[in-house]
Amino acid sequence: MPPPKKLKEGRIFQTVFYTNTDKKSPYRFKAKRVVDQDERAPKVILCDDPRIQPGELCKVRVKTVTKPRQKARGYIEVEFLGQVAFKIDASFYVDPVLEKKLQALLDAGMNILLDGPQGSGKTVLSEKLAQALGMEYVYFNCSSVYEPTDFLATFQVKESEHHNVVTEWVSTDVLRALEAAHANPGRRYLVFLDEFNRCREIARNGIMPALDATRRMYNPRTGSTIAIPDNVLWIAAINNGAQFTGTTTVDPAQLDRFAPVKMRYPPEKEEIRILAERYPNVPQAQIRRIVKAANAIRTDENLRVDLSVRASEEVCLLLSHPNFAEYDGDPLPDLLKTSFCARFLGDWDQPATDAGLVWQCISRALEL
């Protein structure tokens, strides 16, 4: 067998970490194998990156190789580059084909636009994607953007130490992430632009050149443009539809800069599984009824409304509370009147209102 290849500084390889049982060590994780070469590493591999998931195959780069000295053993310190197997943890449901598509798009450096109704998992999915890809996650809510420059910095008027009025540009998390990405080319950053269609269209134009081949943005702090390095990826989320007030249309030129991904509520079976995992003390039969009612509302041809997963979670949360453990009779109808019907206009006992129609739909589905 050929001797093991030297792990020199800068070499990238795959390995699997385990928790380091040496409590005195400053490194939380250790590994022994160079998996892509199927060989044992000449020295122990150490890393302290909190994104490491023990037992999962990941990609690393050699930072330093420390030789054995006196009684101290040698070791290889590595930098964590990301997980190899792209896997979103089971606490979140994502359609298997969509999961593959998302990975392929992000691998290719494409921007993604998540479009879906309220509570369909857009925000949580973006976080899970960053986690699965070993990327730093940067959350930015576009509803606070008023001027095109607000994406990178906001102009603030403050009182100085000597009680004078002073003005200054304050960097946003996006600008800080871009600067960090320039300073740390080995790290990858996923910027999530939440509520992308809740800022003025004219303000949104400020970020357009960052999303196309120009990959530059005007930085008001320096008065010049800042390049968007390759280690920065963008995901935006919108609620598209006439029922959403406070939103503005994203014009075709803006939309064209993204790969669009439609989000849907999880299938009934998956929503039951997720809720059962999150609320183990709620009887499964009740969870099945909650999700059945939720889906009856979502799919009703005449109602044509959406119902967030937050609503079914809310009912589970209430049912798991000790107050409802010894409820006289079945608490579900009362909880659905508040957690489901109250999300719509009108009241559950007013049959001509949306809330009333939702209640009728629930009653039919659960045979109340």
Tell me which of ligand ATP, Mg ion, none is bound by residue 239, counting a contact when its beta carbon lies within the kind-specific cut-off of 5 to 8 angstroms. Answer: ligand ATP
- Residue 98 CB, nearest distance to ligand ATP (Å)? 10
Pairing of strands 29-34, 18-19: antiparallel
Residue 82: Cβ within 10 Å count:
15
Is 313 a binder of ligand ATP (CB under 6 A)? Answer: yes
Query: Between residues 46 and 261, which has the closer beta carbon with respect to Mg ion?
Result: 261
CA dist 181 and 127 (Å) reads: 18
Phi, psi of 155 (to 5 degrees): -90, 120
Spatial separation of the C-alpha atoms in residues 82 and 187, rounded to whole Å: 9
Is 130 a residue that touches ligand ATP (CB under 6 A)? no
> H/E element holding 255?
helix 252-255
- Report the nearest approach of ligand ATP to the CB of residue 245 (Å): 13
Does 116 interact with ligand ATP (rule: CB under 6 A)? yes
Which of 15, 120, 149, 172 contacts ligand ATP by CB under 6 A?
Answer: 120
Q: Which does 266 bind (CB under 5 to 8 A by kind): ligand ATP, Mg ion, none?
A: ligand ATP
Which partner, ligand ATP, Mg ion, none, binds residue 121 by CB below 5 to 8 Å per kind?
A: ligand ATP
Shortest Å distance, C-beta 355 to ligand ATP: 19
298 binds ligand ATP (CB under 6 A): no
Query: Using CB distances below 5 to 8 A depending on partner kind, what does residue 313 bind out of Mg ion, ligand ATP, none?
Result: ligand ATP
Q: Does 244 help bind ligand ATP (rule: CB under 6 A)?
A: no
The window from 72-80, 82-90, 160-168, 307-315 that contacts ligand ATP (CB under 6 A) reads 307-315
Total residues in contact with ligand ATP, by rule CB under 6 A: 17
Strand partners, 157: 167
CB-based contacts of 194, cutoff 8 Å, min separation 6? 122, 123, 126, 139, 140, 141, 142, 143, 236, 237
* Tokens standing for residue 368: 């109340």
Helix (H, G, I), strand (E, B) or coil at 269: helix
- For every residue of 7-41, which 3-state class applies, written as one string? CCCCCEEEEECEECCCCCCCCCEEEEEEHHHCEEE
Q: What residues line the site for Mg ion (CB under 5 A)?
A: 122-123
Residues contributing to the site for ligand ATP (CB under 6 A): 92-93, 116, 118-124, 237, 239, 266, 274, 309-310, 313
